[in-house]
Structure 1
Amino acid sequence: MWSHFHHGADIGVRGVGETLERAFEEAAVALTAVIAEPAGIRCLETVEVRCEAPDRELLLVDWLNAIVYEMAIRHMLFCRFKVELQGSLLLGSACGEAVDVARHQPAIEVKGATYTELEVREDRPGEWRAQCVVDV
């Protein structure tokens, strides 16, 4: 499950899942949903992503910023994500397609994930939350 939350001129993205990995994946879907409807994006090409950070919060920011980077340089949108965490290392993938302006109707450009309202925690057993504000 993913959602957005209001934050001034920017947008908060939140991922919730039964595992930390799933929460990171859902936060990435929320990031995509800031730009375009994820359901309208086809999974045609997979891009591998690797991040490393000293804690979970910084790893979330690095993960989301890696996705923003891959979208920008490849001119793609992603709809499905896979995350595997190995300590401070994140091995992930993003699946999507080239941007089709007429079909995807991108709303805004995400510049990057920030440390604002950055939080990664287990709210209760089996329910992880990963969130931060993205600069638009």
Structure 2
Amino acid sequence: MTQNTSSTPFVYLDHVADIRFIAYGETLEKVFENAALATLSVIADISTVQQKNEFEIDLETVSLENLMVDFLSELLFLFDAEETVLGSVSVEKVGTKQNENGDAIFFIKAAAAGEPIDSSRQNFKTEVKAITYNGIRVEKTADGFETEVVLDL
């Protein structure tokens, strides 16, 4: 299910109880950014969020799929722990390196920005409890990359 990455950054798909989406990007960085925006857009209207607080995100793990789950989970953590609604995400780098044992490790360096939660001003939509491993995939396509993610509501 590949789609033009320049005109459609993400699409929502039918799912029984949760929200499932596919995000697109010409690069790994862009597909991670678009997956973040799709996730954040389920929580709130991100177009109204001011970029007052910025958070650096540096993660490492054993696969691209784990990295996607960890990255999106970190955004949920920032929402809950920092009581901040996020409105933008910028991914600097997604790549691989070797750990001390010579095994490949995937990493991401990103930043997210937003403002303190104020339900009187912000338009919240629904709560996302978790990012699931159900059907998670990050794949190279003819147009770049795509990822499929299921959000537990």
The normalised TM-score by structure 1 is 0.92
Shift of residue 4, structure 1, vs aligned partner:
2.1
Report the RMSD for the aligned CA atoms in angstroms. 1.3
Amino acid at match of 2:109: L
The normalised TM-score by structure 2 is 0.82
**Structure 1 residues 6-15 or 50-59, which shifts more?**
6-15
> What is the match of residue 88 of structure 2?
80
> What is the match of residue 127 of structure 1?
144
Q: Distance in 2 between matches of 1:127 and 1:24?
A: 12
Q: Larger radius of gyration, structure 1 or 2? A: 2
Q: Distance in 2 between matches of 1:116 and 1:27?
A: 15
Amino acid at match of 1:117: G
Amino acid at match of 1:59: L
Amino acid at match of 2:95: Q
Higher helix share: 1
Q: Distance in 1 between matches of 2:119 and 2:15?
A: 27
> Would the aligned equivalents of 2:21 and 2:148 in 1 still touch at CA under 8 Å?
yes
**Structure 1 residues 4-13 or 111-120, which shifts more?**
4-13
The aligned runs of 1:98-117 (5 Å cut-off) are: 98-117=116-135
> What is the match of residue 55 of structure 1?
63
> Would the aligned equivalents of 1:14 and 1:26 in 2 still touch at CA under 8 Å?
no
In the alignment, does 2:45 pair up with 1:37? yes
In the alignment, does 2:38 pair up with 1:21? no
Unpaired segments ≥5 residues, structure 1: none
Identity of aligned residues (%): 28
Question: What per-residue deviation string (whole Å, max 9, x for no partner) do you get for residues 4-38 of structure 1?
Answer: 22211100133211101100011000001111111
> What is the match of residue 99 of structure 2?
none
Q: Distance in 2 between matches of 1:68 and 1:121?
A: 23
Q: Distance in 2 between matches of 1:119 and 1:129?
A: 8
Cα distance, 1:13–1:76 mapped onto 2, change above 3 Å: farther
Kindly report structure 1 stretches of 4+ aligned residues shifted beyond 6 Å. Answer: none
Q: Give the secondary-structure state (helix, strand or coil) at the position aligned to 1:89.
A: strand
**Aligned positions, number:** 135
